[in-house]
Chain A
Amino acid sequence: MARIELNEVAHSYLRKPKNDLDYALKRIHNVWDDGAACALLGPSGCGKTTLLNIVSGLLTPSRGRVLYDGKVVTELPPEKRNIAQVFQFPVLYDTMSVFNNLAFPLRNRGLSEIKIKERVLEVAEILDLTPFLNKRAEGLAADAKQKISLGRGLVRSDVAAILFDEPLTVIDPQMKWYLRRKLKEIHEELKLTFIYVTHDQVEALTFADQVAVMFEGEIVQIGSPQDLFENPEHKFVGYFIGSPGMNFLECTIEGNEARVDGAGIVLDEETAAKGRKAGGKLELGIRPMYLEVHEGSGDGMVKARVKGVEDLGSYRIMALTLAGQTLKARLSEDQPVSGDEVWLAFPPQWIRLFADGRLIR
């Protein structure tokens, strides 16, 4: 098991990078504690796979150092780092039995057959693979195959960390719930360092205690799922996390109000004070689930036009126009919807202000 440290790491795929734009990873300076469950979350092209390859040793970064438990491993290949990897598509020996697939990494290391059997049975039990041990890998469903990939990492009792690269992509939605839960159980039981790369916010947020959100080669925020949801430090985090993402409205601050094209939205004093001091382009952010929709007007409410309503079964999403800008509100399935015009309430405790795309602290 290991504490993994990235020290001023940057990477460019070009031989002679000229400027920032030539870097797939701009500057990563980060520590993952021993036994942590971490996720790297971001859209394609954000650099998350590059970063994972640097952690695993498939790639040597252009700059900076990688340390495992304080020891520099920057130049070491994956096999010398003692890590296990689970990829998007299961990598297995199809014609071997499940048992032999799991035993393979141990046989390679010359363990005695008795020890191997003991360990394989133990891991198979954890992964609910015991009934399949004598079956060939090729006939199994995708989720079972992915469990075997994971099992091949887990059999080595000295493994430093397990790296996952979009491991649930080929799994059906219902099965994802089960596998994700299995991963969490294994993590709680074995306390291994897990690093999980994904573009899927649900996977990242449910799996990890600490999620690093990546955007254009940088980690823009590291935090708990709740942190990222409630206090996105960057507009990108607000947009990327949550479904739909955070609403943003361009505004100016006058006294204790955010003015949005004539409409006034009341802020709490602290937020307003911070807003008055900030420079740059100001925007007000609020999550669709905190935006309240009312049929009649009330204190501090703002009128908006209804553009449309989507029924998503257990809730509905209402699209609204306010001062020429589009907003979304999440309504519970029991809230009545009627009319073209509604009144919006912005609960002050859920309003966040952003200056030039960054949360005002």
Chain B
Amino acid sequence: MSLALENITKKVGRETHLYDISLEFETGSRNVLLGRTLAGKTSLLRLMAGLDRPTTGRVLVNGEDVTGKSVRKRSVAMVYQQFINYPSLTVYKNIASPLKIAGVKRGEIDRRVRGTAEMLHIEDMLDRLPTELSGGQQQRVAIARALIGEADLLLLDEPLVNLDYKLREELRVELHDIFEERKAIVVYTTTEPTEALMLGGNIFVMDEGRILQTGSTPEVYHNPATTKVAEVFSDPPINFLRGTIQEGSIRMGRNIEMPLEDYMKPLSDGDYGFGVRSNHLFLSRNDREDAEIPARVELAEINGSETFIHAYYEGFRLVVQENGVRTVRTGAEITIYVSPCCFFVYDEAGALVASPSREALQSGLT
């Protein structure tokens, strides 16, 4: 099937939740809506499901206008943030419910319930009630119910957000594999860059009711089209410095001067924003060409295998992500090294004007 949204807007009272959104999804595609809280992800998902009607615009399924059609008449399944199951039905009956409503034969139901339960590792819990399960298991039941009907459109609204960190990690990997084998259009919302990268497929970066950028997930990660996309799609936060390009070199603040890399050469002289992710900043020199940023340490966070150093350079707040455990004192003066070929360059309006090739980024690390 194909799903298209045409010039969708959604207003609630005086507030606009979605601004003129047009999107297309193809069968078998995995799609992630990435955005912060209140970006409009859930509003958009509800319109796709048919739970809400857009204020203006159309929803098309296989070219046919379904804008006003009830969710019951559409082939759609949805998983919510909260674990929603029928509390008085056993896990078996919960998972079987969409098939029962559709009038599928008992033998067929049994086969599919057991198969789906096995896929989600809840096959030993079929006789229990949802409340007797842990949160992670309850969400597995909800996911199983969403998968079993083989709906054409599978919508998941931050399904892992209420689960433990470790469970999330495991379910992400499992969901990725499950989605791969589906013919359905899968749309998945999240606030977390790592989750988006793990699921892969296509990405739609949202902010304040607008779609900012679409594309394949790694492609967008490596070419964030605006400073806003770079912010939403970086964890830890991306670092921004202001600088001036003049006569073949870049100047940032009082102390930093760098030669222009090849990919920046087409840029005309002027003021730009320079973005660099924290894993491309280092505490030691990797290359002769590396620029030096003198900074003052605000705080070092250690997570066991990595150290995150928060520091200031002339009012710019920077985060350095280093492998291994580094002890750095608060208030210490340090030098941060960065390869000139690791910067995204943005114009004054915040639009990407030059981005390093992936090869250049990689060679900048070695």
Chain A interface residues (CB < 8 Å from chain B): 43-45, 142, 172-174, 177, 180-181, 184-185, 188, 199-202, 205-207, 225-226, 228-230, 239-245, 287, 289, 310-315, 332-334
Q: How would you classify the secondary structure of chain B's contact residues: helix, strand, loop or mixed? A: mixed
A229 touches B305 (CB 8 A): yes
Q: Are B305 and A185 in contact (CB under 8 A)?
A: no
Question: Which residues of A sit under 8 angstroms from B197, Cβ to Cβ?
Answer: 311-313
- Closest-by-CB residue of A relative to B232 is A174
Sorted from nearest, which 6 A-B pairs have the closest CB atoms?
Answer: A229-B304, A206-B301, A334-B362, A314-B279, A225-B304, A199-B164
Shortest Cβ distance from A178 into B: residue? B237
Q: Contact partner of A205 among B164, B198, B298, B302, CB < 8 A?
A: B302
B299 adjacent to A172 (CB under 8 Å): no
* Whole-angstrom CA separation of A244 from B165 in the bound complex: 11
CB atoms of B191 and A172 under 8 A apart? yes
* Number of interchain pairs (Cβ within 8 Å): 103
What is the CA–CA distance of A43 and B136 in the complex, to the nearest angstrom? 10
B366 at the interface (CB under 8 A from A): yes
A245 and B308 alpha carbons, distance in the complex (Å): 20
Contact status of A43 and B164, CB under 8 A, knowing A173-B193, A225-B302? yes
A185 to chain B: which residues have CB within 8 Å? 299
Quote the shortest CB–CB distance from A45 to chain B (angstroms): 6
Is there contact, CB below 8 Å, between B37 and A172? yes
**Are A184 and B135 closer than 8 Å at their CB atoms?**
no
Kindly provide the distance from the CB of B338 to the nearest chain A CB, expressed in whole angstroms. Answer: 14
- Whether A177 and B236, one on each chain, are in contact in the complex, defined by CB atoms closer than 8 angstroms, is yes
Report yes or no: B323 in contact with A289, Cβ–Cβ below 8 A.
yes
Q: Of A245, A313, A334, which one neighbours B193 at CB under 8 angstroms?
A: A313
Q: Which residues of A contact B200 (CB under 8 A)?
A: 310-311
Q: Which residue of A lies closest to B301 (CB)?
A: A206
Whether the pair B169, A244 counts as a contact (CB closer than 8 A) is yes
CB proximity of A217 to chain B, nearest CB, Å = 15
The distance from the CB of B138 to the nearest CB of chain A, in whole angstroms, is 11
Whether B304 contacts A241 by the Cβ 8 Å rule is yes
Q: Report how many residues on chain B are interfacial, defined by Cβ distance under 8 Å.
A: 48
Nearest-neighbor residue (CB-CB) of A225 within chain B: B304
Q: With A206-B302, A289-B323, A334-B366 in contact, is A313–B221 under 8 Å at CB?
A: yes
Is A200 a contact partner of B165 (Cβ separation < 8 A)?
A: yes
Q: Contacts of A200 on B, CB cut-off 8 Å?
A: 165
Contact of B237 among A174, A244, A311, A332 (CB under 8 A): A174
Q: Can you name 8 A-B pairs with beta carbons within 8 Å?
A: A180-B301, A181-B298, A184-B299, A229-B305, A289-B305, A312-B197, A313-B218, A315-B279
Given contacts A185-B299, A313-B197, 16 further A-B contacts (CB under 8 A): A43-B166, A44-B135, A173-B235, A174-B234, A177-B237, A177-B319, A181-B299, A184-B299, A202-B303, A206-B301, A230-B304, A241-B304, A243-B169, A312-B194, A313-B218, A315-B279
By a CB distance below 8 angstroms, the chain B residues around A289 are 305, 323
Residue B16 at the A interface, CB < 8 A? no
Task: Give the one of A45, A201, A206, A244 with max B CB within 10 A.
Answer: A206
Residues of chain B within 8 A of A333, CB atoms compared: 361-362, 365
Closest chain A residue, CB of each to CB of B176: A310
Q: How far is the CA of A172 from the CA of B36 in the complex (A)?
A: 6
Q: Is B268 engaged at the interface, CB distance under 8 Å to the other chain?
A: no
Query: What is the 8 Å Cβ interface bit string for chain B, positions 300-339, against chain A (1 contact, 0 not)?
Result: 0111110010100000000101010100001000000000
| Distance between A329 CB and nearest chain B CB, rounded to angstroms | 14
| A199 vs chain B, min Cβ distance (A) | 4
* Cβ 8 A contact of B304, one of A172, A228, A312: A228
* B192 neighbours in A (Cβ, 8 Å): 173
A177-B237, A311-B218 are known contacts. Are A287 and B305 too (CB-CB below 8 A)? Answer: yes
